[in-house]
Amino acid sequence: MASRLSRTRSPAARPRLYDAVLDWHLARDRQMAFVAGPRQVGKTTACRRRAEAILDWDNADDRAVILAGPAATARHLALERLRSRPLVALVDEIHKFGGWKGFLKGVFDTHGERLRLLVTGSSRLDVYRHGGDSLMGRYLLYRLHPFSVAEIADPRLPDERRVIRPPRRIPAAEWRALWEHGGFPEPFLKRDPRFTRRWAALRHQQLVREDIRDLTRVHELGRIEMLVRYLEAHSGDQVVFSTLAGLLGVAVDTARRWVGTLAGFYLGFTLQPWHANVARSLRKEPKWYLRDWSFVTDPGKRAETFVGCHLLKAVEGWTDLGLGEFQLAYLRDKERREVDFVVVRDGRPWFLVEVKHSGMELRGSLGHFQKQLGAPHAFQVVIDADDVAADCFARPGGPLVVPARTFLSQLL
């Protein structure tokens, strides 16, 4: 075959949930698999394990093939040859090509029966839709996340009949590494504090100095770096855009757009308040969370960020797998009652989550909001608590204090 062959899988490679996700997709669906997620989360690694051919935009030879168009690409991949099954090909970093949508549409529409495409990028593939042909109906999106408790315990797909997994215990060393080094594969597996600090600093530098500079029209990189430092120190806090605008010396709309840009490049994510059926709910202020909780020094904020990242992985993963429409939000009313998270399933609140670093005494506004929303479950999730061999979701009821190790093992 003329195209570059994928690298051989290392026998020591740790299986991931997304290996099962991509195998499931390739066995069932003809659409392109768009594999999105943060830089260095393992997108390319997972795709290379399945790809028989690779086109990498960052490789000069491959870039020339892509620029020559769909017909030249088909010849390069030798798609005219008879095969027993479609060729699986990876197109990597394609978002850096201004005409990527038209290129993929041309390849898929002409050669889709002979080809299965895995498409990756270091930023969201759907962030910059500046004109061009629509890819609607031609791809399915899979959003990759760092390692989580549930993935460490069992990297297989969830049971579609129940969604929630049975509780499973992970070794104490795995839990400690996840809490201290974060879930991104390299620092989590290496487990060296100095490496983790250097890796995280370099990742953030690359995000600002390469991704944002190259793929957006934002030129105030110094102010963007100020914003990054501010957001790193305020994970779990509400975002007041007027405060940010004053700090950065920009307009409120600019501050709002920059936060959206950083979320689009996976530095963190924002959550909106859920206001349906909530009396005197706040409706505007979002909350901000880093995607790398190892950067959060305050134990309480790290605990909330840690659980928030796990919940986001679950709701996006369940949605991507077609198990329903899931959302993640938070609750707060004008009396300043608040619950950290609410998971919404098919438009209805499913379970509420309040996060505590330590302490087993039930606190907060869980009962108040659970009654208002009619949610079947409400949990106070405690980080510093031993796991329990019991199903947190066994039956609906009033607020329940649960160990984070048990609760998180039942997600994704």
Q: Does the residue 389 lie in any domain?
A: yes
Q: Are residues 336 and 371 in the same domain?
A: yes
Find the helix or strand (DSSP H, E) in which 381 lies: strand 377-382
How many domains, the chain?
2
| 190, part of any domain | yes
Q: Are residues 133 and 158 in the same domain?
A: no
- In a domain, residue 11? The reply is no
Query: Pairing mode, if any, of strands 139-143 and 377-382?
Result: unpaired
Pair (221, 327) in one structural domain: yes
Let me know if residue 189 belongs to a domain. yes
Choose the final residue of a domain: 118, 143, 168: 143
* Domain final residue pick, 121, 143, 165: 143
pLDDT at residue number 230: 93
- Residue 70 belongs to domain with CATH number: 3.40.50.300
204 and 120 in a common domain: no
What pLDDT, in 10s, does the model give residues 209-248?
777 776 666 667 788 888 999 999 999 999 999 999 999 9
Do 288 and 384 belong together in one domain? Answer: yes
Pick out the chain residues at pLDDT < 50. Answer: 1-3, 5-12, 127-132
Domain-located, residue 208: yes
How far apart are alpha carbons 66 and 74 in whole angstroms? 10
Claim to verify: residue 154 and residue 48 sit in the same structural domain:
no
Contact assessment for residue 33 and residue 118, using Cβ atoms and an 8 Å cutoff: yes
pTM score of the predicted model: 0.92
178 vs 189: CA distance, rounded Å: 9
Give yes or no: residues 70 and 113 share one domain. Answer: yes
Per-residue pLDDT at 125:
62
- 254 and 113 assigned to the same domain: no
56 and 155 both lie in a single domain: no
For residues 169 and 64, membership in a common domain is answered with: no
Q: Which domain holds residue 97?
A: 17-143
List, for residues 162-210, the tens digit of each pLDDT value. 999 999 999 999 999 999 999 999 999 999 999 999 998 888 888 877 7
207/267 Cα distance (integer angstroms): 8
Structural domain includes residue 10: no
